[in-house]
Amino acid sequence: MSTSNQRAASAAPVIAIHGGAGTLSRANIHADQERAYHAALQSVLRAGQAVLEQGGSAMEAVTVAVTELENCPLFNAGHGAVFTADGTHELDAAVMDGTTLAAGAVAGVSHVRNPVQAARAVMQDGRHVLMIGEGAEQLARGAGLAMVEPGYFFTEARHAQLLAAQASSAGAVLDHDGAAALAALQSRPLHENRKMGTVGAVALDVHGHLAAATSTGGLTNKRPGRVGDTPLIGAGTYADDRTAAVSCTGHGESFIRVAAAYDVCARMAYGGRSLEAAANAVVHEALPAIGGTGGLIAVDRFGNVCLPFNTEGMYRGVARAGVAPETFIYR
């Protein structure tokens, strides 16, 4: 998808989403699988788009969109999240408001139905930015959020990925690697480094404000207690009205090491780079320099959108106010 870097006289509200960088290989994906992903992305975009068209805030739009993504078992967040090595779920999420730089995040939660809403509750509480485990869940309960038993997050496909990863002695693997191990056991080839499970949304609202939200189940067979880039402000999630809103997906440790989300904004603020130039520099230069794979979605204060990735594909989509949503998987 091409992007424009021309300054808009009056930028229309826009939302962009991702459901993970890397995809099922184009050579192996079934038509019904591809249709299912497009349908899910279209539905999520319409939900976020409706918020923006009704004059809602960017923060509300990204929260609604990521909540919808968490509710869809096709993606590694919320219902359908991957398993730890202990056969449990530890979910992470973050939100950031570009207007005030207020942010909230949770890590290692296993009873909050929608972790992105817990992250927003942390932000609204205002005393802290990142909360983990039981403390984060206590705050979520106090905020009246829906709580569930851990079994809610279970899906047969994710459990099979865990068993396959353990059987292959692969150690902790990205969502796409777990899927690859499962496919190998089932004699259905799926390329390595293809499906990195995180979901996210970025938006610009009618008032010119930006927001970002990201959520993930982490790594298949990960060591309990591992935290990736998603809930770390500046690594996997960042928003600043002066520059852009960014949500990342990929190998979390690499995104942490280069402070990927913030780096996009810093290149714009201090280097005078356009959104496209800054985002591409991070995804195609900074990350590969340390072996990092993945992608990101970003929108700037003028309504320009950039969706770069260095994998075969990335589940993604864009919806502007009054315009039919567009969804993409491959280049």
Tokens, residue 230: 């998603």
Contacts of residue 225, defined as CB under 8 A and 6 or more positions apart, other chains included, come to: 90, 108
- Residue 229 assigned to a binding site: yes
**Is 165 part of a structural domain of the chain?**
no
Contacts of residue 165, defined as CB under 8 A and 6 or more positions apart, other chains included, come to: 171, 173, 177, 178, 181, 220, 221
204-233 mean pLDDT = 96
**Is 40 part of a structural domain of the chain?**
yes
- Residue 249 assigned to a binding site: yes
Model confidence band, residue 330 (pLDDT cutoffs 50, 70, 90): very high
**Is 65 part of a structural domain of the chain?**
yes
Percent of the chain with pLDDT over 90: 80
Comparing 49-53, 163-167, 262-266, the range with the smallest average pLDDT is 163-167
**Is 184 part of a structural domain of the chain?**
no
**Is 3 part of a structural domain of the chain?**
no
- Residue 295 assigned to a binding site: no
3, 198, 214, 293: the catalytic one is 198
Q: Is the pLDDT of residue 182 over 90?
A: no
Alpha helices by DSSP H, listed for the chain, are 31-53, 58-70, 115-125, 133-142, 156-167, 175-185, 252-257, 260-271, 275-281
Q: What pLDDT, on the 0 to 100 scale, is given for residue 41?
A: 98
**Is 47 part of a structural domain of the chain?**
yes
Phi/psi of residue 320, nearest 5 degrees: -100, 155
- Residue 226 assigned to a binding site: yes
The CATH number of the domain where 318 resides is what?
Answer: 3.60.20.30
Q: What is each CA distance from 237 to 23, 80, 282, in whole angstroms?
A: 21, 21, 14
| Burial environment of residue 186 by CB neighbours within 10 A (0 to 12, 13 to 18, 19 or more) | exposed
**Is 2 part of a structural domain of the chain?**
no
Q: What pLDDT, on the 0 to 100 scale, is given for residue 26?
A: 78
User: With contact defined as beta carbons under 8 Å apart, do 203 and 62 qualify?
Assistant: yes
Q: Vertex 47, ends 45 and 53: CA angle to 5°?
A: 95
For residues 241 and 118, what is the distance between their CA atoms, to the nearest angstrom? 23
Q: What share of the chain is helix, strand, coil (3-state, %, to 5)?
A: 35, 25, 40
Phi/psi of residue 274, nearest 5 degrees: -75, 165
Percent of the chain with pLDDT over 70: 88
- Residue 252 assigned to a binding site: yes
In this predicted model, what pLDDT tens digit does every residue of 27-67 receive, in sequence order?
Answer: 778 889 899 999 999 999 999 999 999 999 999 999 999 99
Residue 198 a catalytic site member: yes
Q: What pLDDT, on the 0 to 100 scale, is given for residue 172?
A: 52
Tokens 């106090």, located at residue: 142
Predicted TM-score (pTM) of this structure: 0.91
Contacts of residue 110, defined as CB under 8 A and 6 or more positions apart, other chains included, come to: 88, 89, 90, 91, 137, 150, 153
Q: What pLDDT, on the 0 to 100 scale, is given for residue 254?
A: 97
**Is 180 part of a structural domain of the chain?**
no
In this predicted model, what pLDDT tens digit does every residue of 94-112 receive, in sequence order?
Answer: 999 999 999 999 999 999 9
For residues 87 and 191, what is the distance between their CA atoms, to the nearest angstrom? 25
Q: Is the pLDDT of residue 305 over 70?
A: yes
For residue 29, the enclosing domain spans 14-155+191-330
Q: Is the pLDDT of residue 238 over 50?
A: yes
Higher pLDDT, 239 or 165: 239
For residues 216 and 213, what is the distance between their CA atoms, to the nearest angstrom? 11
Model confidence band, residue 193 (pLDDT cutoffs 50, 70, 90): very low
Mean pLDDT comparison of 70-84, 175-189, 195-209, highest-scoring range:
70-84
Number of domains the chain is built from? 1
